Amino acid sequence: MPARTEHKHKPPPAFAEDHAKGASIGALHRQAEKCQRCDLYKYATQVVFGEGPASAQLVLVGEQPGDREDEVGRPFVGPAGRLLDECLHEAGIDRSVCYVTNSVKHFKFEQRGKRRLHARPNAGEIQRCAWWLGAEFDLLEPKLIVALGATALYSLMGRSVGLTKERGQVLRTMNGTPLLVTVHPSYLLRIRDREDAQKARQTFVADLARTKPYLS
């Protein structure tokens, strides 16, 4: 009988590494569910942590979950998420290979009657939540991060940076990871003029397409 080779049933190293990373991200997510680093947890339904493959080379960072994301518990599943998915598709990028997350992991809102209106997170909330974002990057070690809008840019750079000036450029985060700057998809949803909206969408798709040279 031939001797059994020990390595035969072991997964290849890349798979084993992804599996370990995935488990660590899962553990981080469970830890975040108990987060009280700022007061937003008191009002939100649940934490909305990042999601995507542990092997993702590309990480997309938004602002904070919206009303729908707060209900469902997943990032970018509302109107801005649908637009993001369409634009990624147009840019030739499959969302399922990306890790999608937010600068702030709880929904911040103002209650107006039955409606919950989006409220911008303040600098303290963004800074406290940057701890989670940093922990996600430490595990994922992405090749490229995309900052979707001003909040993500502030969180990732650790200081105020002009979005309009840097849009379409690749900067470096505080840890040296390449960071592509673009607008938030919600910005596109707010443009009323059809032609302007179409142009802005095309520019956003072109920004997203700039990620491709960074990905293998």
Nearer Cβ to ligand URA (7/190): 190
Residues binding ligand URA: number (CB under 6 A): 13
Beta pairing, strands 99-102 & 178-182: unpaired
How many Å apart are CA 70 and CA 211, to the nearest integer? 28
Among 21-29, 75-83, 108-116, 138-146, the segment contacting ligand URA (CB under 6 A): 75-83
Identified binder of ligand URA from the candidate list 38, 56, 64, 183, rule CB under 6 A: 64
Encoded one letter per residue, x for contact with ligand URA by CB under 6 A and - for no contact, window 101-120 reads -x------------------
Identified binder of ligand URA from the candidate list 50, 52, 75, 121, rule CB under 6 A: 75
In whole angstroms, how close is the CB of 177 to ligand URA at the nearest point?
Answer: 20
Sign of torsion over alpha carbons 104, 106, 107, 111:
negative
187's enclosing H/E stretch is helix 185-190
Specify whether the CB–CB gap between 137 and 176 falls below 8 A: no
Torsion angles phi and psi, residue 95, rounded to 5: -60, -30
In whole angstroms, how close is the CB of 182 to ligand URA at the nearest point?
Answer: 13
Identified binder of ligand URA from the candidate list 50, 52, 81, 121, rule CB under 6 A: 81
Among 9-17, 30-38, 72-80, 197-205, the segment contacting ligand URA (CB under 6 A): 72-80
Between the alpha carbon of residue 90 and those of residues 27, 56, 93, the distances in Å are 34, 19, 7
Identified binder of ligand URA from the candidate list 66, 87, 98, 109, rule CB under 6 A: 66
Identified binder of ligand URA from the candidate list 32, 70, 76, 108, rule CB under 6 A: 76
Binding status of residue 121 toward ligand URA by CB under 6 A: no
Nearer Cβ to ligand URA (20/189): 189
- 182 pairs with which residues across the strands? 148
- Torsion from C-alpha of 172, 159, 31, 146, nearest 10 degrees: -40
Encoded one letter per residue, x for contact with ligand URA by CB under 6 A and - for no contact, window 22-61 reads ----------------------------------------
Other Cβ atoms within 10 Å of 33 Cβ, number: 12
> How far from chain centre, in Å, is Cα 20?
21
H helices present in 97-184, as ranges:
123-140, 150-157, 163-166
The contact set with ligand URA (CB under 6 A) reads 62-66, 69, 75-76, 78, 80-81, 102, 186
